[in-house]
Structure 1
Amino acid sequence: MTSQQFTDHRQNADVFTGEVCKQKSKELLASISLPKGLLPLDDIVEVGHNKSTGFVWLKQKRRKNHKFRKIGKTVSYDTEVTAFVEERRMRRLTGVKSKELLIWITVTDIYIDDVSSGKITFGTATGISRSFPVSAFEVDDDEN
């Protein structure tokens, strides 16, 4: 997607900056029925959501690596993370990579197919995917 297309999707979006960003990122995940700990970003400076196109973006001051201890996976979040969201899904994701053995794999799709399965699936552009328990990405409301 070109920067012009990103700009087009940013028009008419709800945009939040400052202190409220971390809360808004969790609210966004909850609104599409994904676990609130999926994007454990710090120092978020901007969150945007174009409800008509489903386009979202989160900007943070610096790249962040986060280890999901329950599954032993390290994930890297770039300074800007973008996606198109819909119920239980983030597609055309950018800015997120997972460390597999010694290489970083770009994650392009995150979804929960069947809520009763308790599994969340992470997909790549090559069609490879891995599923993990949803509980590995949940956080308490009082947790940062």
Structure 2
Amino acid sequence: MSLITEEVRAKSEIYHGDELCQEKSKELLREISLPNGLLPLQDMVECGYHRETGFVWMKQKKSYTHKFEKIGKLVSYATEVTATVEPNRIKKLTGVKTKELLVWISLSEIYVDDPPTGKITFKTPSGLSRSFPVSAFEVEEPAKEAKENKEEVKGVNGAVEVKEV
């Protein structure tokens, strides 16, 4: 059963499309002082944020397994990832597992003790935890390209078109 109810959706900021969701998820991670490469989801179709409660969700077309090269760890992200966020912490995490030896283990919490140079800790529902350098989850972001000159033009039927000038 999904945690994303109609009531939650009605009071949330909701974004659609991979490019916009990628931008918004990185923005959220910066806002709560967590490393920007922590949620490397792909082909996202929707993401949402209920600011009042801190509840967030991200949906992608298919599950994705990512290897964090700096620490040599595999992490699997389900088609739907949900959590509650607050400064320096992600709680009630669902849809994220890490591989330890031969077993996939669910993660339930992620937090940073002393941002931005401290350690980032990952906890399981059973209380086991493991810490790594925050730098292992930072991704260098490409410089934003200069935006092209564009102009909005109202069509005959009231539709808005974006045209290059």
Bin for the TM-score computed over the shorter chain: over 0.9
Shift of 1:117: 5.5
Q: Which runs of 5+ in 1 are unaligned?
A: none
Q: Which has the higher helix share?
A: 1
Q: Please name the residue that 1:6 is paired with.
A: 4
Q: Please name the residue that 2:122 is paired with.
A: 122
Q: Please name the residue that 1:140 is paired with.
A: 140
Could you tell me whether the CA contact under 8 Å between 1:70 and 1:136 is conserved in 2? Answer: yes
Cα offsets for 1:83-126 (capped at 9, x unmatched):
00000100000000000000000000000122265200000110
- Once the two structures are superposed, the pairs formed by residues 1-144 of structure 1 within 5 Å of their partners are 3=2, 6-7=4-5, 8-18=7-17, 19-115=19-115, 118-142=118-142
Q: TM-score, normalised by structure 1?
A: 0.93
Cα offsets for 1:62-83 (capped at 9, x unmatched):
0000000100100000001000
Structure with larger RCO (C-alpha < 8 A, sep 6+): 1
Structure 1 vs Structure 2: percent identity of aligned residues? 60
Shift of 1:51: 0.2
Cα offsets for 1:42-67 (capped at 9, x unmatched):
10111100000000000000000000
Letter in 2 for 1:51: R
Letter in 1 for 2:11: N
The DSSP-based 3-state class of the residue aligned with 1:41 is: coil
The DSSP-based 3-state class of the residue aligned with 2:8 is: helix
Which has the higher mean CA deviation after the structures are superposed, 108-117 or 12-21? 108-117
CA RMSD in angstroms comes to 1.5
> Which of these two proteins has the greater Rg computed from alpha carbons?
2
Cα offsets for 1:26-54 (capped at 9, x unmatched):
11111100001000011011110000000
Q: Which runs of 5+ in 2 are unaligned?
A: 144-165
How many residue pairs get aligned? The number is 141
